Structure 1
């Protein structure tokens, strides 16, 4: 652990070498959930950007059903990875009045980093945002700290709360495609709900989604974007983070980040065609302003292999669609692959195509990342 703390401290010096100012907001660290205790890449990024041994990181666990126990766990981990201080910001759904506590808000202004834990993002909305849509005192202090250079991280529900307009509140892919998006929060977790006003609104380059590949959320992401006129979605996998500094984004962690580009997509409702899907893994970069990807150093254009991507059932099952896409990317002669939902009233078909401009990159002969895979969804 001593060597790990030394590495984090060194990185902190590099990342915090320039003084923060109101014109230089902090980084966003968008984590897809299920963050492992031993994920030194992601925890190290949070700690280093917050100042390492000089860090004072505020942990906010309002979304959790056990906010105090969850906060203790995160605080211990952040200190384990070299944070000088990590403190609980005790605003909970059971004590919402603390969101207006001036002393607590003053404490938040002195933080060098903020971490939003997982749970239910609707608890963040109800507790940290006033009924008229304005910031509570604590949320205003968080926004101010971010504007002054403090990084803000969020995992799972915390990631969602950092999104701007049309923040997703729940939903499964099949029901989303069948029934469409609805405004609000719903007790039924299968219903695709969204909050038009969004959350904290620090990330506005597109919609955000978490647990993306593991929970097969590609369908719900496409339907929400189509229904709300968004042209881009960032779906972050578990144990993975998208680090955002200005318009540049970098993937950190063990899995990947999907970028769904709907600029040329057509159709609506149950049929959407022409979505372009890029999948980025550790070290890959994405530039939001130019909509371009750049593979990490050491990743080379993939030499396709013999073999096929076989049709799949239960296309929105755990990791099913990502696996199909990676198999297709690696197949030498195959240009298309498809999958179907298990449900049949109606069934939905997902078709993947190596469209013009498609590219795949890998290392050790294995596919790791791709860009420009066409994704079509239709009932059938």
Structure 2
């Protein structure tokens, strides 16, 4: 083997090592008690029912609820037959425990960790000391990297796993209309897109993360933050759904799906008459559902074997009527409970099950109105997939072209 082949091989090995990760179970929030597949996945990574010792961390909770929330999760894990489950007692009222020898000893005994939801800023405050790893976080990180101890999280417990530009709040409409994302939460404009100027745990290093994704119409805020940060990939995880990562691949389990946004081919647009408006086109969005796999080394998707391409077998002649609530606005209801959850996912899947090539949606808010154009372009690799599993109909797709601009 000549020297150039050796160098090429070393580069490939180095790239695979950079994209490989120890086991992670990243859950999009609202995890149902009866979602056996996700709970059992965590237990299996932890050594199985007879060996797993689950450490539950509820630092994201209000401190007065942290212990009760941990006991709730432990009871669920015990109900699934886990060998042992313990609360790791670190919360806003007990931050000093992040260096307590007894707590560190407890952490060292665990074979799996579960971070509950709440507020990722609380988790950050509890596990960093002056923006440096606390002894507790250092130990969890060491167990994860050296002993393959699984780390799982739900909602805020997933969001904290990323590095720079961790999202801290905001609605999609505000994200696409505001001047730029804030590095702080603005109490006067709580729906504006904001991010933490300091990184999260940086355990997931392959892109941005967000949760409660389709249900709360977070596509716009993810795309805006990706563009602002110049990060190439973003992963938005639906409620009661998990992205299970082991090595270089991630697999979707659970009820919903995972959006993947690819910013490699974007074009930013500026209207000469409205130079301050943010607009973007040629974002590529994919949506993976049950049993679909994502390869982080090639950024490619393998759809479940029981799903088939929709190309040539679409049900509808035309896409559904364009929506006027593409980002599932909370303002479209007096109760702020989102009259149209999952709207962009629904519109996108319908497009792939129609013979049409494009559709669009408008924002519910109209000062100004923004438009989202969706195009399936086979020259860019767009394709939809569909299949039944346990009598449930699942859709998935890849490389949907997304353009966002002022209407």
TM-score w.r.t. length of structure 2: 0.85
Question: 3-state DSSP class of the match of 1:213?
Answer: coil
Alignment partner, residue 91 of structure 1: 90
CA apart distance, 1:82: 2.1
Unaligned runs of 5+ in 1: 1-23
Alignment partner, residue 181 of structure 1: 181
Alignment partner, residue 57 of structure 2: 60
The root-mean-square deviation of aligned C-alpha atoms, in Å, is 1.5
Alignment partner, residue 321 of structure 1: 344
Alignment partner, residue 314 of structure 2: 304
Q: Which of 289, 301, 304 is the aligned partner of 1:293?
A: 301
Alignment partner, residue 193 of structure 2: 192
CA apart distance, 1:324: 0.4
Alignment partner, residue 396 of structure 2: 369
**1-side partners of 2:202 and 2:101: how far apart?**
22
**2-side partners of 1:189 and 1:261: how far apart?**
28
Alignment partner, residue 76 of structure 2: 77
CA apart distance, 1:309: 2.2
Alignment partner, residue 126 of structure 2: 127
Question: 3-state DSSP class of the match of 1:305?
Answer: coil
CA apart distance, 1:126: 1.2
Is 1:141 matched up with 2:164? no
Question: 3-state DSSP class of the match of 1:183?
Answer: coil
Unaligned runs of 5+ in 2: 1-19, 270-276, 329-340
CA apart distance, 1:95: 1.6
Alignment partner, residue 270 of structure 1: 278
CA apart distance, 1:87: 0.3
1:197-230, CA deviations, whole angstroms, 9 ceiling, x for partnerless residues?
3211110110000000000000000000001111
Question: 3-state DSSP class of the match of 2:85?
Answer: strand
Q: Which of 323, 346, 349 is the aligned partner of 2:368?
A: 346
User: Is the deviation greater in 77-86 or in 200-209?
Assistant: 77-86
Alignment partner, residue 6 of structure 2: none
Task: Note closer, same or farther for the CA distance 1:26–1:82 as it changes in structure 2 (3 Å cut).
Answer: farther
**1-side partners of 2:191 and 2:375: how far apart?**
28
User: Is the deviation greater in 29-38 or in 74-83?
Assistant: 74-83
CA apart distance, 1:246: 2.1
Contact 1:108 1:145 in 2 (8 A): no
**2-side partners of 1:83 and 1:166: how far apart?**
35
Task: Note closer, same or farther for the CA distance 1:212–1:50 as it changes in structure 2 (3 Å cut).
Answer: same
Aligned residue pairs total 355
Contact 2:21 2:245 in 1 (8 A): no
Question: 3-state DSSP class of the match of 2:90?
Answer: coil
Contact 1:339 1:350 in 2 (8 A): yes
Contact 2:289 2:394 in 1 (8 A): no
Moved over 3 A (4+): 185-189, 364-367
Contact 2:21 2:248 in 1 (8 A): no
**2-side partners of 1:107 and 1:305: how far apart?**
56
Alignment partner, residue 29 of structure 2: 33
Question: 3-state DSSP class of the match of 1:54?
Answer: coil
Question: 3-state DSSP class of the match of 1:159?
Answer: helix
5 Å matches for 1:162-311?
162-179=161-178, 180-187=180-187, 189-267=190-268, 270-302=278-310, 303-307=313-317, 308-311=319-322
TM-score w.r.t. length of structure 1: 0.90
CA apart distance, 1:108: 0.8
**2-side partners of 1:328 and 1:72: how far apart?**
44
Contact 2:290 2:394 in 1 (8 A): no
Task: Note closer, same or farther for the CA distance 1:186–1:122 as it changes in structure 2 (3 Å cut).
Answer: farther
Contact 1:110 1:145 in 2 (8 A): no
Contact 1:242 1:251 in 2 (8 A): yes
